[in-house]
Structure 1
Amino acid sequence: MPSLHLHDLTKRFTRHTALHGLSLTVQNGEIFTLLGPSGCGKSTTLWSIAGLHRPDSGSIAFGDRVVFDHGRVDVEPEHRNCGVVFQSYAIWPHMSVAANVGYPLKLRRTAKVEGSRFEPAPQHTIKLEGGRLSGYEAVSFTGIRDPCITAHIDRWARLLRTILTERVEQTLGLGDDDYGLDIRLYGHNAILEHIDPDTTPPREVGVMLLVNAPTQAAATAIAKVANPLMLHLPLPEMQYLPSFAFPTSPAETERGPAYEFVLNHTVDADSPTSMFRIRHTHEDTRA
């Protein structure tokens, strides 16, 4: 594995900046640890290296090979030749740990994983999780079947984000740090995103726009600004105005408060039940 170089990486989510100008170098063969509290950017850094997050600025290189340079280079995850183990290991929940790890290698026909076994840990642990209010959401959905757009749906989605961001600033006076946008392309890669093995153009795509803002009124207003674009946005080379399909009227739906995951810790316990209040009762089931 060549050396890893991160330069000036920044990644923002809604109103939270996970990475702010991060720069570091990990030499070939070096064991490097990212240590910090929940929400400090550890997972975001790993996902950015693997290509599962697209940073808002900065660059990533493996040795002399640049795999990400904002606005210029963005190598797909499957072509970066690196891996990441998720906090919840089971990308495929029906598989064992070993099968989850071995499946990508099996697809590449580079390794075979077998003979795994369960080993009980010497210490019982309890996992603690928690969340907090991240804002309020509104969602819009439209269907696209125009072949000129479905053939370039990723480019169309980037265009939608760019123009919508500009119009929100012009009409509502909100900068892109004041809210969050998530554009999901169902029928294309909404579930697996960049790791989807099928790269053929889809015949039709359901576009879901998810807006997160500090208030419900702001989230709904941003979704309303997006409505004309989600109904008629053409690519620059198109000589006609396409029409898409809203399934509902009005197109936007208010989803109310949303919460984000902010706590993930494990605590040593004397037994699997020692941290839980348990009350035993006896019921006479005889008629």
Structure 2
Amino acid sequence: MKRVDQRHSSSLGTAHERALTGGTIRYYDTGDGPPVVFVHGFMTNANTWRDVVPNVAAAGHRCIAPDLPLGAHSIPVPEAGLTPVGVADMVSEFLDELDLTDVTLVANDSGGVVTQILLARGLARVSRVVLASVDCYEAFPPTRYRWLTAAIKIPGATRAVTSILRFRPLQRLPFTFGPATKRPIPREVMDGFLLPSRRSAEIRADLAHFVSQGVRNEFTLDAARKFPFVSTPVLIAWAREDRLVPAEYAERLANDLPNSTLAFIDDSYMLVQEDRPDALTELIIEFARQHAAPTQR
């Protein structure tokens, strides 16, 4: 099985690989203390957290950022069940394999769908959750990206879609990455998101698998039905100007999750870790401090 060479920021820490039931995933690990596990979204990878991890680690946390099989990963997982539930199973097994406890899960974009499923399960290893501008309820996929998921579902179209997205001027259009960030993502970072699916037929197959089997709002709506019974503390950290999943969805989450706190982040679109890593970092650190285990206060 061919791995795709990738360069992630050294700020994420040391790269490791872990074999799981569905396949092997690469992850990055740095710092010491109560663990914070970062869950990225569709067609991004762990490198999207490069400007958040260092300060969270400096605040006394072990930061772990896996590359999940959502289209920008480097190790194909042809045997995995690539639906949000299947990826949630992988994350749950990953926490078990690393024997992590008192975990803070931080999620963005469609990584939030995976995390909402885990939240609804009430995992004992997860003590608190940060939902940072995530797909939820009916907005999976967001309306502006329905063309993308529809195109990828066409047999043989995945390569064409990923090839088109390589052109830098197209990346800022309203129907591509334009609504995701207020400012352009650095070229080398964007290349790290897009090159795996362009270079590997196996990665493209994983991407097509996830889109065709898993990008449906039945997964988010099913998780939402369990929200009234969730006791886990949740921080809803939302981009006030989110153009993909607007602020009213954040307010809806805050109403439905009994132990939640809502905080808005200004001057950002959906990928708050790209536009406002400073603001998101401060919120994560303060939230983890407020809800720390008694022995860590």
TM-score (normalizing by structure 2): 0.29
**Which protein has the bigger helix share?**
2
